């Protein structure tokens, strides 16, 4: 519970902090490539009867997905909290790549938990994470997929809350 209280206190302190917000905004614009481009899908618009269809091109963000948007904020907050390292779970690898990228950028150690099955299917993303300096830990328990990677990440986090922040990538987790 102390880890969640510590996180909530840090969030409350920095969410309105002008310096933090400026630093985060600068990272999002100058590093991640925000705001994402909107592309009018003219053929799709025509094929579907004229309603204007736009695609928000999150795939053009640095790291190739929307994951970097959230991760930059979490890792910046972890650094402000004095954490030396971050950990995360990943399935297909996009969250792991984003976390490894942000950790490398902000100078934090990084460990990514990934099921062995997912590592085999997503070998390119494993390579990218390792290239960025992350340790990718194979999870061999259970189904060896995301569910088990979440469990292992939680196990580590509760034993290392003093120096480690869990960069959540799945739809789960504590307030805030």
DSSP string, 86-148: EEEEESSSHHHHHHHHHHHHHT-EEEEEEEHHHHHHTHHHHHHHHHTT-EEEEE-STTSSHHH
* pLDDT in the model for residue 174: 64
* pLDDT in the model for residue 149: 96
Give the phi and the psi of residue 70 in degrees, each rounded to 5.
-75, -40
Please state whether the predicted TM-score (pTM) of the whole model is above 0.95. no
* pLDDT in the model for residue 176: 65
Spans of the chain, pLDDT less than 70: 173-176
Cα separation, 26 vs 22, whole angstroms: 6
* pLDDT in the model for residue 172: 77
Query: Could you say which DSSP state residue 59 is in?
Result: G
């Amino acid at each position: 519970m102390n880890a969640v209280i510590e996180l909530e206190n840090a969030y409350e302190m920095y969410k309105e902090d002008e310096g933090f917000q400026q630093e985060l905004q600068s990272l999002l614009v100058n590093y991640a490539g925000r705001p994402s481009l909107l592309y009018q899908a003219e053929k799709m618009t025509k094929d579907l009867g004229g309603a204007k269809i736009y695609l928000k091109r999150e795939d053009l963000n640095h790291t190739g997905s929307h994951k970097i948007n959230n991760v930059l904020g979490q890792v910046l907050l972890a650094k402000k909290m004095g954490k030396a390292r971050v950990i995360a779970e990943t399935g297909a690898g996009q969250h792991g790549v984003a976390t490894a990228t942000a950790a490398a950028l902000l100078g934090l150690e990084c460990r990514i938990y990934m099921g062995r099955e997912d590592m085999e299917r997503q070998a390119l993303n494993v390579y990218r994470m390792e290239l960025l300096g992350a340790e990718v830990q194979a999870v061999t328990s259970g189904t060896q997929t995301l569910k088990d990677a979440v469990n292992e990440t939680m196990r580590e986090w509760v034993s290392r809350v003093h120096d480690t922040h869990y960069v959540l990538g799945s739809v789960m987790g504590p307030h805030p």
